[in-house]
Structure formats: structure tokens, C-alpha cells
Amino acid sequence: MRHSTVWYPFTQHALEPPMRRIVGTEGAYLVDEDGASILDAISSWWVITHGHRHPVVMEAIRKATETYDQIIFAEYTHAPAEELARGLIEIAPPGLAHVFYSDSGSTAVEVALKMALGFFHNGGHPRNRICVLEHGYHGDTIGTMSTGERGVFNAAYAPLLFSVDRLPFPDPGREQATLDAFETACASGEVAALLIEPLLLGAGGMKTYPASVLSELKRIAERHSSLLIADEVMTGWGRTGSLFACEQASITPDILCTSKGMTGGVLPLAATLCTGQIFEAHLSPDRRKTFFHSSSYTANPIACAAALANLAVWKGEPVRERIEVLTERQRQQIARFAEDLRFVNVRQRGTIAALDLKVPAGGYLAEVGPRLKAFFRERGLLIRPLGNVIYLMPPYCITEDDLQRAYDAIDEAASLFGAGRL
């Protein structure tokens, strides 16, 4: 058995088998050290959009390395970052005007929170309350853990976390309770922002809610001069069917966070987009109103070049058509489980499909989770359930046959591990 000194993420080393080494990637597949091909049905943690090693993106990276490495972004700028910022503003919901770069989804959200608080502080009317949605997940830094659901993920760090106002999730029939709770919170005049994953919660269990709820939350925020921060780290770049999920609610958030698929999933890069009003609140001859945030690798030129290539792929290839095809195939495949008593809450949003396996005890630490993961691994599938929640979020290049293979495996797994019966 090979010994490793690596501490892997979200891994209980006392229980998990040794990690298999991946030696190559191509399209929708990973290739392991024994030459076995593994269907990447979750886009390697939701980042790979077009498929692994898309040639346009890879060529852009190779070309950028001939000119650039890292450049301090607080002192100088460079063409990839400037061009990318213009490209992001061009495709983003109308009204967003400025781009602040970082290097992960968590930091993009941290930036957004600081922008929101700075906006009110610099305006001379400080607000410090943040509203979030129940079951939300926004990252694993201290600030983003504070805004995410409290539980096993962050119990050990509770003394470091700040308080937020949690709105009930808008389950079917309970939508008004969510809106009423936000209205009540905003009436205090102290809410700086609502931070929300638009239309679909990711790590919180792939929970979906209607676009009409998001639209009304934005209207409530506007009435009370509070900001809306859209965490599109996972939902962006076509995952929910539109380029950004906010489009389906016909809203422009005050701040939008993006990462994951921004480079096609090839390199780490993130951006926080904001309105001109938020930027201008930090624009002053008073240096104390500077936006004090950075990371060492802000706007890495090679990562920006990859993101620019991703924009070129979106413009030059039929990406939206691929998304439409995948959305329809997901709809057709998951329909087989709509009345299946082994599952509850069978759902889909764009290219993402999810269903909850009926077991005696669910949740993220459900005993069935590791068994399901091992089962899928044995069948050459990268499907990583959230406890008893099984989901598919494949790259847009996945074939119909490969998608059916994944669903056939889910069907078989339900017969082996589910508590319900047909």
C-alpha cells in the first residue's frame, strides 16, 4: 500500500481506502493509474463545464505561459485581466459594472460581504446584519462558514463564526414564510445584504426553489435599500440552464460571485462583480475608504487567459445548444424515478438532477453515503452523493449513452441500498 503525506479534503482517512491516482483526463472522463476510465458525472466538484482539457482553453494557457507568470495586481495591470473584465461585464446581468478578482468561490463571497459592509460604512450609515437562506453553503473560510448552515461542517469552529439572520427555505407551500421573514428583517433598517444561492442550493442538498421567490426577494431588498448578493459560484456558467441563474428571475444582483466554471474548470480563478454604486462608495481621496482586500494571486494572468478562452468557447461554439440537449436528456432520464417509492424529492434544474434515496436516516452523514460512493466507484463512475442525496452534474460534453449508464447505476444502487420498494 502506497503511503501518502497528503491530507485530502472532506476525507476521513481512518475510513477511506487509499486514493487512486489519476494520470490523465479527456472529455467527460478521468483515467486512473491502472488505465481504467472513470466517467466524471459531477464535473470534478462542479468545475468542469465543457469537458476536461478543452483544446481552446488548453492552447490559451500554453500561449500565456510564453509571456506571463504572476504579476502583482495592486501595482500593475495586464491585458488578460482587462479583457476578461470587459467580457464578464458584457455577459453578466445588466447593471453590473466592476470586477474584483480573487482565486476561489469562498474568497469571492468573502469579497462580496466586505463590499456590502464597506458600502454602508463608507456612506456614513453602517449596517452589519447579513441575511442568508436556510441550508445554504458559501464556502469554508471563516466568513463563508458563518453564512452557511451550521452543523457538522463547522461545529468545531463555532467560537470564530459571526451571527447571521437565517430565512426559512422556501419549500413548496412555504414560499411566503421566506418572503415575510426577509421583510421583517429588512424593516429593522440594519440589513446590509441578503446572500443567496440563486434557484438551487448546492452542498446544502441540491434543493431548488422558484425564480419567482428570487425576484420577490430582490424587490424586498430594493424597498429597504438592502443589497442582494448572488452566489453564482456553482449555479453560473450554464448549470441551471441559463448562463447565470439570476437571468431566470429577471434580476440583476447588486453583487455577483463567480468561480468554478469561469475558466472552464481548468484553473482556479474567481470574480466578484458589483454595481457602479458600490464601487463609487469606495472611491474617495480619503484613503481610509479604500477597499482593503487582496490575495497574492489576484488576477493571475494565466488563469485570466484560460477564462478568456472560456468566453471564446461560449461565443464560438454551440454551448447553449449543448446545455439544452443535456437538460432534456436529464429530464428524460430522471423521469423514470418520478413515482419510484425508493426515492423522494426527485428534481431537476437545468443540467443538474438530484433525488433523495429513501433510507432510515438521511442527511450528510447518512451511513448509506460512503456505501453509495464505493458502489459507483466500482462501476467506473465518479458520483459523490451528499449523504443520501444522489445528484448528477456532468460536463456538457457527456454522451447520451454515458448519461444512461449513470442512471442505470443509480437504479441498481437504489435496489441494493434503499429502504423503499417499487
pLDDT digits (tens, 9 = 90+) for 320-354: 999 999 999 999 999 999 999 999 999 999 999 99
- What radius of gyration do the chain's Cα atoms show? 22
Whether residue 209 sits in one domain with residue 325: no
Whether residue 106 sits in one domain with residue 255: yes
**Contact of 116 with 300, CB cutoff 8 Å:** no
Establish if 41 belongs to a structural domain.
no
CA distance 158 to 61: 41
Whether residue 324 sits in one domain with residue 279: no
Establish if 46 belongs to a structural domain.
no
Per-residue confidence (pLDDT) for residue 2, from 0 to 100: 64
CA distance 112 to 293: 11
Whether residue 382 sits in one domain with residue 281: no
Establish if 111 belongs to a structural domain.
yes
Q: Helices 368-378 and 400-417: crossing angle, nearest 10°?
A: 140
Neighbouring residues of 338: CB distance < 8 A, sequence distance ≥ 6: 346
Residue 212 vs residues 199, 218, 221, 251, 312: alpha-carbon distances, Å: 9, 10, 14, 10, 32
Establish if 141 belongs to a structural domain.
yes
Structural domain including 360 reads 320-417
- Show which of 316, 335, 355 is a domain's final residue: 316
Whether residue 359 sits in one domain with residue 330: yes
3-state secondary structure of 138: coil
Neighbouring residues of 163: CB distance < 8 A, sequence distance ≥ 6: 146
CA distance 226 to 156: 32
- Show which of 316, 331, 350 is a domain's final residue: 316
Establish if 90 belongs to a structural domain.
yes
Whether residue 344 sits in one domain with residue 310: no
Parallel, antiparallel, or unpaired: how do β-strands 255-258 and 227-231 relate?
parallel
Angle at 350 between CA 333 and CA 59, to 5 degrees: 105
Whether residue 279 sits in one domain with residue 325: no
CATH number at residue 383: 3.90.1150.10
Establish if 2 belongs to a structural domain.
no
Establish if 327 belongs to a structural domain.
yes
Whether residue 224 sits in one domain with residue 308: yes
CA distance 326 to 41: 12
Per-residue confidence (pLDDT) for residue 419, from 0 to 100: 81
Residue spans of the chain under pLDDT 70 = 1-2, 420-422
Q: Against a cut of 0.85, is the pTM above it?
A: yes
Residue 310 dihedral angles phi and psi, to the nearest 5°? -60, -40
Establish if 29 belongs to a structural domain.
no
Whether residue 192 sits in one domain with residue 64: yes
Which letter, b or e, does each residue of 4-30 get, where b requires 16 or more Cβ atoms within 10 Å of its Cβ? eeeeeeeeeeeeeeeeeeeeebebbbb
Whether residue 205 sits in one domain with residue 135: yes
Q: Helices 301-316 and 55-65: crossing angle, nearest 10°?
A: 150
CATH number at residue 290: 3.40.640.10
What's the number of domains the chain is made of? 2
Whether residue 221 sits in one domain with residue 103: yes
Residue ranges of E strands in 327-402: 343-349, 352-357, 381-382, 389-392
Per-residue confidence (pLDDT) for residue 421, from 0 to 100: 47
- Show which of 316, 336, 361 is a domain's final residue: 316
**Cell for 39?**
466517467
Per-residue confidence (pLDDT) for residue 153, from 0 to 100: 87
Whether residue 368 sits in one domain with residue 260: no
